Amino acid sequence: MIRRLIPLTAVAVALSGCALLSSPPEAQLYRFGMDTAAAQPLPVDAPSLNLRRVEMVDAAETDRILSITGGAEAAYIGAARWVTPAQDLYTNSLESAFAGQARRVRLIGRREALRGDQTLDIDVRAFEARYDAPETIPTVVVTVRARLLQDRDLVSEQVFTSSRPANENRVSTIVQAFEAATADVNSQIVAWADATVTPAPPPGP
């Protein structure tokens, strides 16, 4: 199915009248971040990292698949949605990446009531399929700002990005490009955290 765009402004318009003339087509559901490797054993004294709630640019955090045409025109891909909000899918994919790829640092997930040595703050600043012009083949771009915090102090900050062209202007191949770009960015974040996180200093007397 070639992607059909729904302008963001149209999504916000309220429907009026007593009844719809026809029902909208049922959306096909997609997901990403499901390719997970087996959890890697870590040293007993591995430094740990609390994951804050992942923040994502407003237009992309829902279950709709965001596209940008010509660098300015934003729209959602019609008749296609993420199976759950992209914000949740991305969070799950990042946790899976740490579990399968980290060699030195342990990520403490959102559901674990444990205190880590440091905190990982994630801000997804771009999560979109970019078209140079209408009906061309898009490139998926994922850009993430990651910060390591010690209590409230900034330890390190870096921006990671990945671009993956789709093979065709079809929803299934666009989703595959989202999968590849997300996996690449997450691998970069895991490698950076492995090299950067340090154990918390011991408590004072």
At position 147, the amino acid (one-letter code) is: R
Q: What is the pTM of this model?
A: 0.84
Q: Measuring CA to CA, which residue among 125, 112, 192 is closest to residue 157?
A: 192
The Cα–Cα gap between 41 and 2 comes to 43
Domain ranges for the chain: 29-36+43-196
Q: In sequence order, what DSSP letters do the residues of 31-61 get, joined into one string?
A: ------PPPPP--TT--EEEEPPPEE-GGGS
Q: Is 5 in contact with 171 (CB distance < 8 Å)?
A: no
CA distance 150 to 196: 12
pLDDT tens per residue, range 178-189 = 999 999 999 999
Task: Give the pLDDT score at 111.
Answer: 72
How far is it, in rounded angstroms, from Cα 189 to Cα 87?
Answer: 17
Quote the pLDDT of residue 14. Answer: 33
pLDDT in tens, 132-158: 999 899 999 999 999 999 988 999 999
Q: Pick from 192, 78, 92, 75: which is nearest to 145 by CA?
A: 192
Q: How far apart are CA 43 and CA 94, in angstroms?
A: 20
Domain 29-36+43-196 bears CATH identifier 3.90.1150.10: no
Q: Which two tokens stand for residue 118?
A: 């440091």
Q: Determine what percent of the chain is predicted with pLDDT higher than 70.
A: 82
Residue 18 confidence (pLDDT) = 34
Express each pLDDT in 19-71 by its tens digit: 334 445 678 999 998 766 667 778 778 889 999 999 999 999 999 999 999 98
Among residues of the chain, what percentage have pLDDT more than 90?
65
Residue 201 pLDDT: 59
Q: How far is CA 125 from CA 122, 138, 197, in A?
A: 9, 18, 23
Strand partners, 188: none
Taking the CB of residue 46, how many other CB atoms lie within 10 A of it? Answer: 17
